[in-house]
Amino acid sequence: MTTTDKIRVSDVLDRTAREAGDLPAMKVKRGGEWQTTTWSEYRQQARLVARGFLRLGLERGRGVAIIGYNCPEWFLSDVGAILAGGFPAGIYSTSSAEQCEYIAEHAEAALAVVEDEAQLAKFLAVRDRLPALKAIVQMHGQPTVPGVYSWQQMLDLGAEVSEAELDARIAAQAPDDVCTLIYTSGTTGNPKGVMISHDNIVFTTRSALQTMDIRRGEYTVSYLPLSHIAEQVVTLHGPMAIAGCSWFAESMDKLGANLQEVRPHWFLGVPRVWEKIQEKMLSAGANNPPLKKKIVAWARTQGLKGGYADQRGEGRPLLYGLANKLVFSTVREKLGLDRCRAQITSAAPISKSTLEFFLALGLPVYEVFGMSECTGPATISTPAKYATGKAGWALPGTELKIADDGEICMRGRHVFKGYFKNPDATAESMDGEGWLHSGDIGTIDSYGFLKITDRKKDLLITAGGENVAPQILEGLLKGIPVISQAVVIGDAKKYLAALLTLDAERVAATAAEAGSPARDLQSASTCPVFRLYLQRQIDEMNQRLAKVQTIKRWSIVAGEFTIEGGELTPTMKIKRKVIREKYAAEIDALYDESADAAGRSAA
């Protein structure tokens, strides 16, 4: 079957269960042991869930709200809703009761599937304001609230519905019908419901995984929010397309240990995940004996040269093999990525310094650009064709172009059906020729590689009328090893400034290098010696920039920007409006010429 064939999600599941029924589809650790669900069992269970949803009153074209951490029940609820003719609508597990209410009401959800009592409480708090909601199913635990069913109770109800009734519901579906609602994480305002068709998801997953040479029976790890399209493509629909297997991480805290157990063949990490891995590796490396540090530094030089040589189609340095044997192979094994052929980053910008860090260790991270509205990937990068610092080339079977104003546009079978119940927003995002306007600014080079420069709406316009892309500068700031996060500000201001967070695990070593007595975040942020050292790093960065791009002042923010703190979306994108409001006093101080608390640039 080729990517030109239009089929439904149910057809993909049927074929995979028929042709690879004995292969593992899902693995989850419960009671300390990994439990396996095969593809034939997956299909059987998904159909039973669909029948349960029918018994609970799910009608065609109605939503099924799903909230909780990644697990088999999440997958089965999603696919079961599709088989039953409904729309799964994932909700980020960090959402408030009011946010759950908004999505459930907007998706016209007849059912809600919640992970546990904590997530159930959110829906119980707003259930009276959701008249369309007929029932709630709790994945784990034994609920005692009327109208709330345990997972097993829902399955038992499903057994009362005939297979023929479900088959009739499936037969009524067409490949171009909407099968999934993806709600944007919303850096500003209420999220919009992105309508994804069967053909959108089937075409996109096939094109992406086939291009990246992901093979039957191979593994990945599911841990990012399943309400996000990237995670659904990589770990839910992707494995279904090629009879792969998704292993569920026990938690974000245990992701490192789980990677070592699973040793995935492909792995998606948002930029903040790669940055966290980098920070831990740098912190651990700081404690190495001098000789080992020298060997690692030498190996990284070979690795960086070799990585760029690969991209140019040239031979690697003669000593690359020795560096691989001494350092790279050990690093990959310790990370659990020793058999991983595709290390992917997406969902947000990643700094070139982080990409080069892994490239220098023989572990290239392949950038992919996309958005919910194009079913995830608009571009692809592969081991055979990638460029560090660029976001890949057009997904095979699709088109990519740069509009006259620099905006990135895409067209093809991956482009969504529109925003649910919002034709005006749909018309704003799509032009008359079928081009989806991304809202991102970029360029395409002669080899077809896309380079993202910024978001149109994130561009800063200084008081002097200069347009400045903050994400480029933020990437450079994060290239200073002790800086973990950076937000550049300066809209309508006469110069640029930055809010910075420090890598707690790197502070002590950096302070020692700077000759500072500081040993923790608090003492470093106020130590004159440490701040002078940091200022010199920023001054050095500024020397490589145009004057209008230089960071004139900066301030260290206590702690980190987090999802829990409200500064990041669930996919770890910066919420600039929230940060501007939350740190208004610190920002005001950066533009108070009489204040001495903030760092000043010599540039």
Q: Examine the pLDDT at 517 and tell me if it is beyond 50.
A: yes
Is the separation of the CB atoms in 441 and 459 below 8 Å? yes
Is 103 a domain residue?
A: yes
Which region among 361-365, 378-382, 463-467 has the lowest average model confidence (pLDDT)?
463-467
> In angstroms, rounded to a whole number, what is the distance separating the alpha carbons of residues 81 and 86?
5
Q: Examine the pLDDT at 600 and tell me if it is beyond 70.
A: no
Q: Examine the pLDDT at 85 and tell me if it is beyond 90.
A: yes
Q: Examine the pLDDT at 261 and tell me if it is beyond 90.
A: yes
CB atoms within 10 A of CB 236: 24
Reported as a pLDDT band with limits 50, 70 and 90, residue 3 is very low
Is 67 a domain residue?
A: yes
Is 509 a domain residue?
A: yes
Q: Examine the pLDDT at 128 and tell me if it is beyond 90.
A: yes
Q: Examine the pLDDT at 478 and tell me if it is beyond 80.
A: yes
The residue among 1 and 459 whose pLDDT is bigger is 459
For residue 344, give the nearest of 395, 383, 374, 373 by alpha carbon.
383
The residue among 7 and 441 whose pLDDT is bigger is 7
342 three-state secondary structure: strand
pLDDT in tens, 545-562: 878 889 999 999 988 898
For residue 263, give the nearest of 340, 358, 325, 341 by alpha carbon.
340
> In angstroms, rounded to a whole number, what is the distance separating the alpha carbons of residues 443 and 532?
37
pLDDT of residue 594: 62
φ/ψ (deg, to 5) at 175: -55, -30
Q: Examine the pLDDT at 454 and tell me if it is beyond 70.
A: yes
Q: Examine the pLDDT at 148 and tell me if it is beyond 60.
A: yes
Is 204 a domain residue?
A: yes
Cβ partners under 8 Å of residue 357, min gap 6: 278
User: What interhelical angle do 39-55 and 72-83 show, nearest 10?
Assistant: 60
> In angstroms, rounded to a whole number, what is the distance separating the alpha carbons of residues 391 and 380?
7
Mean pLDDT for 134-149 is: 96
Q: Helix (H) and strand (E) counts for the chain?
A: 23, 29
pLDDT in tens, 390-425: 999 999 999 999 999 899 999 999 999 999 999 999
Highest mean pLDDT of the ranges 187-191, 432-436, 462-466: 432-436
The CATH number of whichever domain residue 489 belongs to comes to 3.30.300.30
Q: Examine the pLDDT at 494 and tell me if it is beyond 90.
A: no
Mean pLDDT for 85-103 is: 94
> Mean pLDDT in the chain?
92
Reported as a pLDDT band with limits 50, 70 and 90, residue 464 is low
The separation between CA 37 and the C-alpha centre of its own chain, rounded to angstroms, equals: 25
pLDDT more than 70, % of the chain: 95
pLDDT of residue 576: 86
| Number of domain units in the chain | 2
Is 327 a domain residue?
A: no
Is the separation of the CB atoms in 511 and 519 below 8 Å? yes
Q: How many residues does the chain have?
A: 603
Reported as a pLDDT band with limits 50, 70 and 90, residue 187 is very low
Mean pLDDT for 110-131 is: 97
pLDDT of residue 284: 85
pLDDT of residue 601: 47
Q: Examine the pLDDT at 121 and tell me if it is beyond 60.
A: yes
The residue among 140 and 598 whose pLDDT is bigger is 140
Structure tokens at 10: 């149910």
Is 543 a domain residue?
A: yes
pLDDT in tens, 292-341: 999 999 999 999 999 999 999 999 999 999 999 999 999 999 999 999 99
Mean pLDDT for 111-116 is: 98
Mean pLDDT for 31-60 is: 97
Is 196 a domain residue?
A: yes
Place of tokens 């960086």: 304
Domain around 593: 459-600
Is 404 a domain residue?
A: no
The CATH number of whichever domain residue 115 belongs to comes to 3.40.50.980
Q: Examine the pLDDT at 163 and tell me if it is beyond 60.
A: yes
Place of tokens 């077809």: 448
Sheet (strand 342-345) strand order: 266-269, 342-345, 365-367
Structure tokens at 279: 């920070």
CA torsion 446→450→455→459, rounded to 10°?
-40
24 three-state secondary structure: strand
Cβ partners under 8 Å of residue 498, min gap 6: 473, 474, 477, 486, 487, 488, 489, 551, 553, 554, 555
Taking CA atoms, 350 is separated from 97, 347, 356, 389, 476, in Å, by 32, 9, 11, 8, 10
Reported as a pLDDT band with limits 50, 70 and 90, residue 602 is very low
> In angstroms, rounded to a whole number, what is the distance separating the alpha carbons of residues 181 and 418?
10
Q: Examine the pLDDT at 347 and tell me if it is beyond 90.
A: no
pLDDT of residue 575: 86
